[in-house]
């Protein structure tokens, strides 16, 4: 494939997957707009890098960042909606505020940034939107109720959006990382429910220990994920969904089989509900 320099716009770019993608895109020769809640937390400097403040929960900041990006580079070819965190805990131990905050970042924040960037891509009649979901956007498990809800929302949104913007040469790809070695399960990123309940104490302890044991031990390498994202963004026909990592491939495959088996097991009853009007 011949090399075409692109302008990337990345959210949550100071740490983890976002930071690795900044490095990879710069190394490949692309322009990068790296955004973070505090732009000073982006330590990389480069003449093809523009670092901007963007808390994705603040829509006005998204519009201002996009304006600054276009003023500097003239276009945005790739939007990487990466900013997010895991509200990992049991639903009944979470408050309405916990749920609201999770959706404010992972869902409404992603909407804000997408809404700000799409007019640029529509005008260009070209663009790539890479939305970071998760295997939790495919499968719910004990301890992921709110996080999975937010990532399932990202999946449904992205699947529909892909059809709406295809006419403008814009592709949407949902990226489903398995477990990657970032700060994701660390105390500085992950949040747990703020309403402990005695009935859930044992289950909650198990969940917390499970995530704690995996913190910074995850098999996925964020640098390699960044390299894969660059390939997806350069591909002429990118996929709608992309599972990242052996664990993700296994989990998505098992989910497809479980869905198929359940559909067949209940087919006879399912097909009885059409009206005879």
Please report, in angstroms and rounded to a whole number, the separation of the first and last CA atoms in the chain.
56
Residue ranges of alpha helices (H) inside the chain are 16-27, 59-73, 96-103, 110-124, 145-165, 201-214, 222-234, 246-270
Let me know if 147 is a catalytic residue. yes
Spatial distance between the Cα atoms of 265 and 269, rounded to a whole number of angstroms: 9
Among 6, 16, 155, 172, binds ligand NAP (CB under 6 A): 16
151 catalytically annotated: yes
The catalytic residue among 85, 151, 158, 204 is: 151
* Subset of 131-160 contacting ligand NAP (CB under 6 A): 132, 134
Considering only 23, 39, 41, 63, the residue that binds ligand NAP (CB under 6 A) is 41
Lookup: tokens for 224: 């390699």
- CB-count burial class (<10 Å; 0-12, 13-18, 19+) for 94: buried
Q: How far is the CB of 58 from ligand NAP (least distance, A)?
A: 8
Stretch that binds ligand NAP, among 72-80, 82-90, 165-173, 194-202 (CB under 6 A): 82-90
Examine residue 12 and tell whether it contacts ligand NAP (CB under 6 A). Answer: yes
Q: What residues contact residue 276 under an 8 Å CB cut-off, 6+ apart?
A: none
Q: Show which residues are catalytic.
A: 133, 147, 151
Binding residues for ligand NAP, per CB under 6 A? Answer: 11-12, 14-18, 36-37, 41, 55-57, 82-86, 105, 109, 132, 134, 177, 179-180, 182-184, 189, 218
């Amino acid at each position: 494939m011949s090399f075409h320099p692109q302008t990337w716009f990345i959210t949550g770019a100071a740490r983890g997957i976002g930071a690795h993608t900044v490095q990879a895109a710069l190394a490949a020769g692309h322009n990068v707009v790296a955004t973070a809640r505090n732009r000073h937390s982006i330590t990389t400097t480069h003449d093809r890098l523009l670092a901007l403040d963007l808390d994705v929960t603040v829509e006005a900041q998204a519009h201002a960042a996009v304006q600054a990006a276009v003023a500097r580079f003239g276009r945005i070819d790739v939007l990487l909606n990466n900013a997010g965190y895991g509200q990992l805990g049991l639903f009944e131990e979470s408050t309405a505020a916990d749920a609201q905050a999770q959706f404010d970042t992972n869902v409404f924040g992603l909407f804000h940034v997408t809404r700000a960037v799409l007019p640029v891509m529509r005008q260009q009649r070209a663009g790539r939107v890479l939305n970071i979901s998760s295997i939790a956007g495919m499968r719910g498990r004990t301890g992921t109720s709110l996080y999975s809800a937010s990532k399932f929302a990202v999946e449904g949104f992205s699947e529909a959006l892909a059809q709406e913007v295809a006419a403008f040469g814009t592709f949407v790809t949902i990226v489903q990382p398995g477990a990657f070695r970032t700060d994701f399960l660390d105390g500085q990123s992950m949040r747990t429910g703020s309403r402990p309940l005695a009935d859930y104490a044992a289950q909650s302890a198990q969940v917390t220990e499970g995530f704690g044991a995996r913190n910074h031990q995850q098999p996925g390498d964020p640098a390699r994920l960044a390299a894969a994202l660059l390939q997806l963004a350069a591909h002429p026909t990118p996929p709608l969904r992309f599972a990242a990592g052996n664990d993700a491939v296994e989990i998505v495959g098992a989910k497809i089989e479980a869905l198929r088996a359940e559909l067949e097991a209940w087919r006879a009853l399912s097909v009885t509900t059409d009206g005879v009007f």
